[in-house]
């Protein structure tokens, strides 16, 4: 199986790098600036699971050599349209596109641009950052990559993908309920991002403040209400777990959006929070806390732009 990883940033670089380290056939599609950095320093991973410096296969968009079996799409939401132009030659009728973008809007975009047949559901859980010097630093031991056919079937192609992925220590697993898992991930990302970015602190710091726990749980409830109305309802087990995660005493839990804000970088506010707000507004759902976070981050975004 040939895998094309689109982007060699904090997520694509980490998971693609680990697969390449395990001997899998992996090629990275990268922009010239990142390609030059990788040629000079290698793909450097700093991780609780072991550090690595790799020299990966790379390719430019104008030299793509035909369809791949699978494409791991790891770009930021605001770079999606440009990436889709780049990957056109890599997509054949049976190519599996595994998008690990945040939110759900990208699924509609991909289905329109290619074919629903090309889409495979994917949920990635990892805390990594791309440092200014090009290193990918994994912040916690958590790493999980779930994937599956959107209709829950175990097709021959997804079983082959599972065999390919399980060869690397990346927490890979095949899911029969990937659609629900994608919506559940969006719930956690939107709630965590809104809570930490609006309050400018970690979950533990917010919980320690007067009204902090009530604020966090109230915002989570708004997000869950929207998803139960417009998407695939989360399981009760997930909601209980999310409540605990978002109100835990002393927790250092924070969103990647919050880390981007701390570094003055663009955020995926439109994909993670804006799209959810628009769906909730259309369904006439009251969500004052979520809307406040969206307005706050929209102001921030207007100042930093979308250049990454």
CB-CB contact of 119 with 150 (8 Å): yes
* Res 192: pLDDT: 98
Pick the CATH number of 2-176 from 3.40.50.261, 3.40.50.720, 3.40.50.1000, 3.40.50.300: 3.40.50.720
CB-CB contact of 196 with 261 (8 Å): no
* Res 34: pLDDT: 94
E strand or H helix at 140, and its extent?
Answer: strand 136-148
Task: Specify the pTM.
Answer: 0.88
Residuewise pLDDT in 10s, the chain (308 residues): 999 999 999 999 999 999 999 999 999 999 999 999 999 999 999 999 999 999 999 999 889 989 999 999 998 888 898 899 999 999 999 999 999 998 999 999 999 999 999 999 999 989 898 999 999 999 999 999 999 999 999 999 999 999 999 989 899 999 999 999 999 999 999 999 999 999 999 999 999 999 999 999 999 999 999 999 999 999 999 999 999 999 999 999 999 899 899 999 999 999 999 999 999 999 999 999 999 999 999 999 999 986 54
Helix ranges restricted to H, 114-177: 156-165
From residue 222, alpha-carbon distances to 105, 168, 185, 219, 238 in Å are 19, 38, 15, 5, 15
* Res 209: pLDDT: 97
Q: Single out the residue of 196, 254, 190 nearest to residue 226, CA to CA.
A: 190
* Res 167: pLDDT: 81
* Res 185: pLDDT: 95
* Res 306: pLDDT: 66
* Res 78: pLDDT: 83
At 308, list the tokens.
């990454």
Please indicate whether the domains covering 2-176 and 182-304 agree at the CATH topology level.
no
Helix ranges restricted to H, 200-287: 203-207, 212-230, 236-245, 256-262, 269, 275-282
Give the architecture (CATH level 2) of 182-304. Answer: Orthogonal Bundle (1.10)
* Res 307: pLDDT: 54
Question: What are the beta bridge partners of residue 138?
Answer: 128
Q: What sign results for the dihedral spanned by CA atoms 114, 119, 125, 128?
A: negative
* Res 76: pLDDT: 84
E strand or H helix at 189, and its extent?
Answer: helix 178-199
Measured between alpha carbons, how far is 148 from 157 in angstroms, rounded to an integer? Answer: 10
Tell me the domain boundaries of the chain.
Answer: 2-176, 182-304
In this structure, the strands spanning 121-130 and 52-54 are: unpaired
* Res 63: pLDDT: 92
């Amino acid at each position: 199986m040939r895998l094309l990883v689109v982007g060699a940033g904090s997520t694509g670089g980490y998971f693609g790098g680990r697969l390449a380290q395990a001997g899998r056939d992996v090629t990275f599609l990268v922009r010239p600036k990142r390609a030059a950095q990788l040629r000079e320093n290698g793909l450097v991973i700093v991780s609780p699971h072991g550090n690595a410096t790799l020299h990966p296969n790379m390719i430019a968009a104008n030299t793509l050599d035909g369809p791949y079996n699978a494409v791991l799409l790891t770009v930021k939401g605001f770079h999606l349209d440009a990436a889709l132009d780049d990957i056109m030659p890599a997509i054949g009728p049976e190519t599996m596109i595994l998008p690990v973008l945040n939110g759900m809007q990208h699924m509609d975009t991909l289905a329109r641009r290619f074919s629903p047949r090309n889409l495979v559901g994917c949920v990635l859980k990892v805390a990594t950052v791309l440092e200014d010097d090009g290193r990918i630093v994994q912040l916690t031991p958590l790493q999980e990559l779930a994937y599956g056919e959107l209709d829950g079937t175990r097709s021959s192609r997804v079983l082959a993908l599972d065999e390919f992925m399980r060869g690397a220590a990346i927490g890979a697993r095949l899911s029969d309920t990937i659609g629900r898992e994608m919506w559940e991930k969006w719930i956690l990302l939107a709630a965590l991002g809104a809570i930490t970015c609006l309050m400018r602190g970690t979950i533990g710091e917010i919980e320690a403040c007067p009204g902090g726990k009530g604020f966090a749980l109230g915002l989570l409830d708004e997000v869950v209400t929207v998803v139960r109305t417009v998407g695939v309802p989360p399981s009760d087990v997930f909601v209980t777990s999310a409540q605990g995660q978002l109100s835990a005493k002393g927790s250092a839990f924070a969103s990647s959006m919050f880390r981007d804000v701390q570094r003055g970088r663009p955020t995926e506010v439109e994909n993670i929070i804006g799209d959810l707000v628009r769906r909730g507004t259309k369904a006439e759902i009251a969500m004052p806390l979520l809307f406040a976070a969206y307005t706050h981050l929209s102001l921030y975004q207007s100042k930093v732009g979308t250049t990454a």
